């Protein structure tokens, strides 16, 4: 398995296909219409400009993807990111999500980001277990916050410290740099 920066032209269709079942058949994503390859490609480009969007592949088959984007719009949040990981159903329980997150967090640390936040629609024992197994801790739950798949859904928040807080004002995070 290889983990690399996503290439919108090469990977957007595969990532859209991986994501679509989460939108169409589960409450995991609060989107109601799956984004097509064009939209996924635009998201890849947007997130890679400042953060990261990675894919895991074997041969030329994309197994899953992970990305980080801005947590909040206020300047005080500049060192926090929101993360997500999606793995093709055929490749669950093979360490793909864990490997994607390990590489993602290493890159985010190098950029100077300090905190990662994951938002998980509840219940989702598989996602909760993955996040907790790599060090995320649950920090809160919003009750009945979204309507999806015929009922109101809770959303839990998990947090991972990527770097210690330190003293004084931190340097601004670095741009993501060229795709390598």
Instruction: Classify residue 97: in a domain, yes or no.
Output: yes
d(CA 6, CA 20): 18
Instruction: Classify residue 149: in a domain, yes or no.
Output: no
Q: Note the pLDDT tens digit of each residue in 151-167.
A: 999 999 999 999 988 87
Instruction: Classify residue 11: in a domain, yes or no.
Output: yes
Which whole number is the average pLDDT over 20-38?
Answer: 96
Check which CATH number belongs to the domain holding 80 and give it: 3.40.630.30
Domain that holds residue 91: 2-115
Whose structure tokens read 């938002």? Answer: 119
Q: Which tokens sit at 57?
A: 């592949």
Per-residue pLDDT at 177: 66
Our count of domains for the chain comes to: 1
Instruction: Classify residue 52: in a domain, yes or no.
Output: yes
Instruction: Classify residue 108: in a domain, yes or no.
Output: yes
């Amino acid at each position: 398995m290889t983990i690399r920066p996503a290439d919108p032209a090469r990977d957007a269709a595969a990532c859209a296909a991986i994501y679509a079942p989460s939108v169409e058949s589960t409450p995991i994503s609060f989107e109601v219409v799956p984004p097509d390859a064009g939209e996924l490609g635009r998201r890849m480009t947007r997130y890679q400009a400042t953060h990261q969007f990675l894919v895991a592949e074997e041969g030329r088959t994309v197994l899953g993807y992970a990305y980080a984007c801005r947590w909040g719009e206020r300047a005080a949040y500049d060192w926090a990111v929101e993360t997500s990981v999606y793995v093709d159903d055929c490749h669950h329980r093979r360490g793909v999500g864990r490997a994607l997150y390990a590489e993602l967090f290493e890159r985010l640390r190098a950029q100077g980001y300090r905190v990662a936040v994951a938002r998980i629609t509840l219940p989702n024992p598989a996602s909760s277990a993955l996040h907790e197994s790599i060090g995320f801790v649950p920090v809160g739950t919003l009750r009945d916050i979204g309507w999806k798949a015929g009922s109101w859904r809770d959303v839990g928040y998990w947090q991972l410290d990527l770097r210690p807080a330190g003293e004084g004002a931190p340097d601004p995070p670095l741009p993501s740099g060229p795709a390598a």
